[in-house]
Chain A
């Protein structure tokens, strides 16, 4: 039984996906029941395991493919950090999406790929070997495409195309990296460090670069970020999925795995590739914020903010020190909670008030208090103001920078904070302090839309206020660091 747990968790979203595909358009009830049931079941399973794993347990399932291709599913603390994030947010997003779409056409296709997407993410989280990581990574790429293109209008198809245009070459680079590495070391399992002495430093650096190229695209590292702002043509639930639950997270998670479980922090430092990556991440942080400043569309601004925020995680990983790592891991969750809040709210503004542009936000605060409060809190968290979760990551990243001899990281964090404030505060100002335009309408009588946002907000708030407690993301990240799940 325990050996099958990883597979079970995978199935909780895989089975609904497969069944949903064959449901006909009209059977809304059954479809929603499937999606929700799978999501709830998954969360339940994870809660069960959280306790077991906190107690030191680890579950493993191996499915042997052709020699060299080991499909290894493993649940350890690090895997659980990511999978619990994605599972929880998946549940929220499912509730939200069901309300968001109502009875639109093509929903069977949507929810099918939606669940498939989450199954892939779960697989990424649980992957215990490089190749299984790659397999699920690609599955994610493919299952995301129909979601981005869901509306099937010109913009969506264009966005979907540019998504693949970025994704496929980068996954080719990833495959090259993996094959190059494994042709020298044999199959790479995250549990035991591969013996890299067979490769000379130069090739190792090249392999590392290829890895970053492969994962950097999903993590939207400049200049591989172009697809992310374009993808905001997709419906809000998809944005939530891209920005918080699955895609960019998968990229960042990949970077973490490569640095700590494939190369090992020591080797990364020895090769001198960590700091360049940190510089790249910092450049992305700044650049994303600068671009966000220029956007007049809410979701576009949020998208660029993601570009900037996700690189916090990469930065933390690249610093290759305990504090940086903890900060990065914690931010993996924090950013997810805060960004999904923002996208939920953006979606609510869109469907309930027909507002997509920032100018349209004027005076919506009093009219849609719950949504706007969540949005404001999420934005403040992004800026990194206490007690929202953001400031915790920031503190750890800052100390991580100093500890890794990269004090300029502090400057980056400072600049990013100010820029975040510069592009978020005007929104809040419009929400709460400006007079609404006379023809403005909008209400929030849609609990299924608002409640997920509120829950996510509370999560982000709790993650900050209770940061030091063991149950918080920070606590879990610290546990991971202490246990040495990642070296």
Chain B
């Protein structure tokens, strides 16, 4: 298979895993990770689209980098929240889902 489709397939797989994690897990940290997985998958896919027809489109790269920064800050905030909550209540999941978390 071509590098291009490899990118695409990997991206799709990552998204799938992330999606599963998002639904299946209650622990907030896992969800943050899952979000990152989906994000990375999308970025991979995005990068792949930049390389259509031989000529490489620079725009996706630029956008991906921005996106990664954004995703990173989001994750940071998420981690911060869960840590703070864990410190206060000892729980790392949402109250309505705490049963068995």
A–B contact at 8 Å CB threshold (below): no
